[in-house]
Structures are given as C-alpha cells and as structure tokens.
A and B are shown apart, each in its own frame.
Chain A
Amino acid sequence: MTMRIFVSSDAGAVAVGADDVARALEQAAIKSGIAVEIVRTGSRGLYWLEPMIEVATSQGRVAFGPVSAADAASVFDAMTAGSPHPLRLGLTEEIPWLKRQTRLTFARCGVIDPRSVGDYRAHDGYKGLERALTLTSDEILADVTASGLRGRGGAGFPTGIKWKTVAQASADRKYIVCNADEGDSGTFADRMIMEGDPFVVIEGMTIAGIAVGATKGYIYIRSEYPHAVAAMNAAITAARRTGYLGERIVGSNHTFDLEVRVGAGAYVCGEETSLLESLEGRRGIVRAKPPLPAHKGLFGRPTVINNVLSFAAIPFILAGGAKAYADFGMGRSRGTMPIQLAGNIRHGGLFETAFGVTLGELVDDIGGGTFTGRPVRAVQVGGPLGAYFPRALFDTPFDYEAFAARDGLIGHGGIVVFDDSVDMAKQARFAMEFCAVESCGKCTPCRIGSTRGVETIDKIIRGERTSENLAVVEDLCNTMKFGSLCALGGFTPYPVMSALKHFREDFGPAPATLQAAE
C-alpha cells in the first residue's frame, strides 16, 4: 500500500523550509524503494512546529515537527518502522494545542489537498452550497442572520443584515467582493485559509451570490501574498472545471463566477470603499459613506463586500450549522474566531475558538509567553490600528464589545506579543508613521494629523517640553479619531493613546505633581 505523507505548502511553512523537507522525503522514499505519495496540504497552524509533517496510519495521522531537511531521512525511517523519534508529536488530532480548539472555519485547513475539489467534497465540502441550492434567498438570509455571524474583517457588522440589504436592492447587476487585503501585521488567517482551503472561500462567495442575486465575484488579494494568489487561482480553475463555478452551477439555474485581482501594496485598500476604488482601477481613495457599498458598491452596483473569514464561515452555517454556530460565543459575539498569535511568542499560530476566551489565556496559556523567555510587557490586538494592552488588562475576554469597552478592538483577530525590551514611545511613533505613509490623503485629520503626530512624538522622545507635547498628541488623536473618514485615521489613535495611557513611563519623565499653593 502506498504510504501517504502530508507536508504543508503554506507560505509560513515554506518560509522555514517545508519545500526542502518535501524534496528530502522524496529522496528518502526513492532510496528505500517504498511507494510514497507526498501530499502538499495547507498548514494546521501550529507554526512553531513547522515544517510539520504527517503520515497516515491506521490510527489516524501522526505528526512530526519541526522537521528540517537534515531530519527528513530519520523521520522517514521512523514513519515506515513506526518507531520512536525525538520529533514525533503523536496523533495530530491529539496534540493538545489543536485538540482544545473549535475548528469550524478551519476544519479542513492542513488536512486536505487545497487543489482538489474531490478532497474538499470528501471532507464535507460543498454541503452548504448543495443545501443553499434547495433554499429560497430569504431562507439563506435567515440562516446567516440566525448564526449571528458578524464581519470578521474587524468592523463586526452583522453579515445577515448586509446581505439582506443587497438582496433587497434592485439593479441590473450586483457583485460579491471578497476582501483579502489582509494588511494587519500579526494576522495571517486569510492567507492560511486561501492557501489551505480555498474552496471554502469560493463556496461561501457562491452562496452569497445565490442569496443576493449576484453572478460575478472578485477576490481582492494583496500582492504580498503570491502563494495565496496562486492557490486561489488554481482553486477557481478547478471549481470551473467541475461545474462549481460558471453557468448553471452544478446543474442549477444559478450562474456565478469569480476572478482574482491583485492589490499593489497599499494598506488603505483593506478599507472596503478604498478596495472598491482599487478594483475599479483607480487610486485607493476612500469614499464617503453613505452611500453604503450594499447600495452603491463596485461600479455603482449593490455589492456584498466581506472579509475572507466571513465568507469562509458561511459553508458550515448553510450546511445546517446556523444554530450550532450561534451556540458558541458570548454576548453579541457569536460563533468562533480564528485568533492569530504572533510576534515574540513561543507557540505562535492560528487558534480558532469560541469568543469569550481571555487575552491572558491566549497569551500566557495557549501562546506560552514569549520565545525570548522574557516577561510579556505589551500585546497589540487587532493590527496596526489596534490598542496595546498591558498585563493588567489580560482579563479582557475576546469579544467585540469587551475590547471596545477598554478602548481597543479585536479587529481581524491578530495578537502581537512584545517582551519587556519594547519601547512603547517608539511603537506609538511607528503607528503614526505607518498612518502617514499609508494615508490615502483624502481627509485632513489622517493626512496631516499623522505627520504632525510623528513630529510631536519625536519631540517627546527627545525630551522637549514633554507634557505640552503629550497634550498635543492627545489633541491630534482626538481630531483623528472623530474627524477621519475611515478607520485608518480614525483608529490610529488606539495604539498611540493606549501606549500613552498604559506605558506612560516610556514617554519621558512624568510632569511634576502640582504643589498646593502656599
């Protein structure tokens, strides 16, 4: 019987040598004369163990990691003999870090061959679409609404309401747009799912098309993700070939097709209206809202624009899982969130779990603290526009409202861990600098406020009139927060103000306490 070995082709695994490992395994197989099939999958998301390789056994898949090309031969021998090996991790499904997750969206990621429609279907793929094809538009919308799904891009807007608005709009044509411009540092869930389970994104978008009456969709992927672009394009071709995209999808009366468009290195294009401008072939300048994209979106037509993870959550929900999805979570944050643990962290990777887990559990318990072994000092949650949290706030549960109540945001679910060597004044300066570089320039608070912010924080760092300049920064932040057109200028104050509030000691000597007048 052919031995099946699984090696990730995820960019994160390739970046640490997965391709070399795959080649070395092939060599070892040839040398041994044993028939071996090497399947390139996505990543399971346990990145500190990448390159992680698995072998199919009668008990299930057994994992080894992190495997270097030099280890490949001995790991191969251990696989064939079923003998112990220092890198043997046991049954993959039993690895505690994976076992304690609730993988609804990422159930197949790292398991299947991302280029195979057959493999996708063999792992419950396209069940959501098959059921959706038997439902009316209203019934699909009812399921999406009942699941409680909120936009996973960061804004958390209820997906069901957005879709309903587009479904009710009348127009000669409508569009489905997938926002895969995952620019936030510390986030990689979109990349992972596109590389590891691209059909789930295609299926989710197809269901959206059927629900709202759109026949054309675009996936806007950032140019920094060449592997994801290749994976999505390959999957779209495979879906067309098997009748899952194109005219009369799987014999129904519905038509739906997809096209990948590649961004060009502008962070602001992750903002939905800027993304639409870019898709139309223009500068990624933010549009004023209203009109909402649901009314006037791409090329002025009603458009569903959602994040990759929102679309990827849909197949599970439509396969009869709406209630099961809604049963997870806390408060108004229903379902699961693929949380990304990144930066200076021992166990970095993708952890999908129900809302409600605390920041402390995520960083200390699941993440295992820093890989440098130094104490965790700050964590930035939600990308470059997210707040820095000190240890004192580690009891905050992962929930849209709970983070907002503490002047933060969960954003796209990325958590970047910093140890005690971090200089928070430098991080605050970086937030302003990043905003200045990436500002589309349309509104003054963002365009000029961020530049003034950099200059003023530089003065503070040089020790010039610290308290006066801190007041200027605070004032600038207020102007940006309330006066900017979109989240770039509007949320840059989060990292800046949180750094100031929680790590004041990094911004020079505190103002002398006012003495009571004699």
Chain B
Amino acid sequence: MTSVYEPWNEARGAEIIAEHDKLEGATLVILHAMQEAFGYVPEPAIPMIASALSLSRAEVHGVFTFYHDFRHEPAGRHVLKICRAEACQAAGGDALAARAEAKLGIAIGNTTPDARVTLEPIYCLGLCATAPSAMLDGRVVGRLDEQRLDALVAEAQR
C-alpha cells in the first residue's frame, strides 16, 4: 500500500481549513487533515490556519513543532515505524531495530536516499503482548523476528 498524496495547493488547503475551523480547539484537527491530504504540513498552510483560527503564526507554528507526528517535509513512499518502547525492548526489539537500520542503510529517523522508505521510532503501538512490533504504512505487525522483519523491510523497499 503506497500512500498517494496531493501536491500542495492553496485552494485545497483553504478548503480543508473551512471543513474544520468551526470546531472547538481545531488546530490539531486541521494539522492532521493537512498531513493526511498532502503527506506533510506545507509551510504556507501555517499562516492560513493562524488567520482562520484568529491565532498568531507563532502559536500555530508552536503547536506544529510540539507534536512528533507532524512532518515539515514529505516522508518516503513507505513509512516503517519500529516500536522502541520497553515491552518491545524486553522481547528483543533493539536488535531488530538495528537490523532494520543496517538493511536500509540509514539510522532511525531518516529516509533512504532514493526516498522509498522512511524509518521512524514509535513509542508503543499497544501490541505489547505480541512484541516486538512495527507498523508499515498503517498496517500493524507483531511477533517480529529476523525473518518477518526482513520481509517487512523488503516490502517497504519495493
């Protein structure tokens, strides 16, 4: 499953804002919707959100940068998130994370030079009884071992 995103477009951005700006405390909702549409939160969207919600640009920028989820640039075609939290550590997750880094030739938190795969840490998917776990483009995978991880990495590279 490759996520297909629209290219940034101001009119589309304005439309997304208008869909949500009547909600109480709409900032996060709008940022999520932007990222869902464009794959990241384009810089020009920030002042547009600020003006729609009667906030300063600094306030919206502050919210945008506070949360780990929001991207300021597009991710790779596939995003592989590996759980690094304690339950997965206990089940051998550290070695698997290192293996994924080696296979992809990048450190966690980076995107491969061919822009195919972004490798990210995630702190708990709530799959702690079937650890270690990971998520590839929204699909959850548990009971990872070397073989299953390799298959997952290969799938991400396709």
What is A's interface to B at a CB cutoff of 8 Å? Answer: 11-12, 14-16, 47-48, 50, 182-188, 190-191, 223-227, 261-267, 278-285, 299, 340-345, 348-350, 371, 380, 383-384, 414, 416-419, 422, 427, 430, 434, 438, 440
B46 at the interface (CB under 8 A from A): no
What are 16 contact pairs spanning A and B, CB under 8 A? Answer: A12-B142, A15-B133, A15-B141, A15-B142, A183-B124, A261-B29, A267-B123, A280-B24, A285-B66, A350-B129, A384-B85, A416-B90, A416-B128, A427-B86, A430-B89, A434-B123
Complex Cα spacing A263 to B27, Å: 11
Complex Cα spacing A344 to B132, Å: 9
Complex Cα spacing A502 to B70, Å: 39
A265-B69, A340-B129 given as contacts; is B87 within 8 A of A185 (CB)? yes
- Known A-B contacts: A11-B126, A186-B87, A348-B130. Give 9 more (CB < 8 A): A12-B142, A185-B86, A188-B126, A224-B125, A264-B28, A264-B69, A267-B123, A348-B129, A430-B89
B127 at the interface (CB under 8 A from A): yes
Residues of chain B within 8 A (CB-CB) of A226 are 138
Q: Which 6 A-B pairs have the closest CB atoms?
A: A348-B129, A281-B27, A185-B85, A343-B90, A15-B142, A342-B128
B131 at the interface (CB under 8 A from A): yes
Complex Cα spacing A380 to B124, Å: 15
Q: Are A343 and B131 in contact (CB under 8 A)?
A: yes
B62 at the interface (CB under 8 A from A): yes
Complex Cα spacing A106 to B85, Å: 26
Residues of chain B within 8 A (CB-CB) of A183 are 123-124
Q: Are B24 and A299 in contact (CB under 8 A)?
A: yes
> Quick one: which of B27, B28, B129, B140 has the most chain A CB within 10 A?
B129
B154 at the interface (CB under 8 A from A): no
Q: Are A344 and B129 in contact (CB under 8 A)?
A: no
Residues of chain A within 8 A (CB-CB) of B27 are 281-282
Minimum Cβ distance to chain B for residue A125 (Å): 24
B115 at the interface (CB under 8 A from A): no
Q: Are B25 and A187 in contact (CB under 8 A)?
A: no
Residues of chain B within 8 A (CB-CB) of A348 are 128-131
Complex Cα spacing A345 to B85, Å: 16
B99 at the interface (CB under 8 A from A): no
Residues of chain B within 8 A (CB-CB) of A282 are 25, 27, 59, 62-63
Q: Are A345 and B28 in contact (CB under 8 A)?
A: no
What is B's interface to A at a CB cutoff of 8 Å? Answer: 24-29, 31-32, 53, 59, 62-63, 66-70, 85-92, 122-131, 133, 138, 140-143
User: Looking across the interface, which residue of chain A has its beta carbon closest to that of B29?
Assistant: A261
Select one of A12, A278, A430 contacting B86, CB under 8 A.
Answer: A430
Select one of B32, B62, B142 contacting A262, CB under 8 A.
Answer: B32
Complex Cα spacing A383 to B138, Å: 24
Minimum Cβ distance to chain B for residue A494 (Å): 13
Complex Cα spacing A14 to B139, Å: 9
Residues of chain B within 8 A (CB-CB) of A350 are 129
Minimum Cβ distance to chain B for residue A82 (Å): 30
Residues of chain A within 8 A (CB-CB) of B85 are 185-186, 384
Q: Are A223 and B125 in contact (CB under 8 A)?
A: no
Minimum Cβ distance to chain B for residue A439 (Å): 11
Q: Are A191 and B126 in contact (CB under 8 A)?
A: yes
> Quick one: which of A47, A186, A345, A384 has the most chain B CB within 10 A?
A186
Q: Are B25 and A15 in contact (CB under 8 A)?
A: no
Residues of chain A within 8 A (CB-CB) of B87 are 185-186, 342-343, 414, 416
Complex Cα spacing A383 to B29, Å: 28
Complex Cα spacing A284 to B122, Å: 18
> Quick one: which of B31, B87, B142 has the most chain A CB within 10 A?
B87
Q: Are A343 and B86 in contact (CB under 8 A)?
A: yes
Complex Cα spacing A418 to B129, Å: 13
Minimum Cβ distance to chain A for residue B49 (Å): 10
Q: Are B123 and A187 in contact (CB under 8 A)?
A: no
Complex Cα spacing A299 to B25, Å: 9
A184-B124, A343-B131, A345-B129 given as contacts; is B86 within 8 A of A281 (CB)? no
User: Looking across the interface, which residue of chain A has its beta carbon closest to that of B120?
Assistant: A265
Q: Are A224 and B124 in contact (CB under 8 A)?
A: yes
Q: Are A223 and B69 in contact (CB under 8 A)?
A: yes
Complex Cα spacing A12 to B53, Å: 38
Minimum Cβ distance to chain A for residue B147 (Å): 14
Residues of chain B within 8 A (CB-CB) of A427 are 86, 89
User: Looking across the interface, which residue of chain B has its beta carbon closest to that of A268?
Assistant: B66
Complex Cα spacing A422 to B90, Å: 7
A264-B69, A278-B28 given as contacts; is B62 within 8 A of A283 (CB)? yes
Q: Are B128 and A264 in contact (CB under 8 A)?
A: no
Minimum Cβ distance to chain B for residue A495 (Å): 9
Q: Are A261 and B128 in contact (CB under 8 A)?
A: no
Complex Cα spacing A427 to B94, Å: 12
Residues of chain B within 8 A (CB-CB) of A434 are 123
Complex Cα spacing A264 to B53, Å: 19
Select one of B91, B122, B126, B143 contacting A344, CB under 8 A.
Answer: B91
Q: Are A417 and B90 in contact (CB under 8 A)?
A: yes
Residues of chain B within 8 A (CB-CB) of A188 are 126-129
Q: Are A11 and B86 in contact (CB under 8 A)?
A: no
User: Looking across the interface, which residue of chain A has its beta carbon closest to that of B94?
Assistant: A426
Q: Are A418 and B90 in contact (CB under 8 A)?
A: yes
Residues of chain B within 8 A (CB-CB) of A12 are 126-127, 129-130, 142
Residues of chain A within 8 A (CB-CB) of B28 are 261-264, 278, 281
> Quick one: which of A191, A343, A422, A438 has the most chain B CB within 10 A?
A343
Q: Are B140 and A15 in contact (CB under 8 A)?
A: yes
User: Looking across the interface, which residue of chain B has its beta carbon closest to that of A46?
Assistant: B129
User: Looking across the interface, which residue of chain B has its beta carbon closest to that of A45?
Assistant: B129
Residues of chain B within 8 A (CB-CB) of A185 are 85-88, 123-124, 128
Residues of chain B within 8 A (CB-CB) of A266 are 66-68
> Quick one: which of A50, A184, A279, A380 has the most chain B CB within 10 A?
A184
User: Looking across the interface, which residue of chain A has its beta carbon closest to that of B35?
Assistant: A264
Residues of chain A within 8 A (CB-CB) of B131 are 342-344, 348
Complex Cα spacing A350 to B138, Å: 24
Minimum Cβ distance to chain A for residue B56 (Å): 12
Complex Cα spacing A183 to B25, Å: 22
> Quick one: which of B31, B67, B68, B90 has the most chain A CB within 10 A?
B90
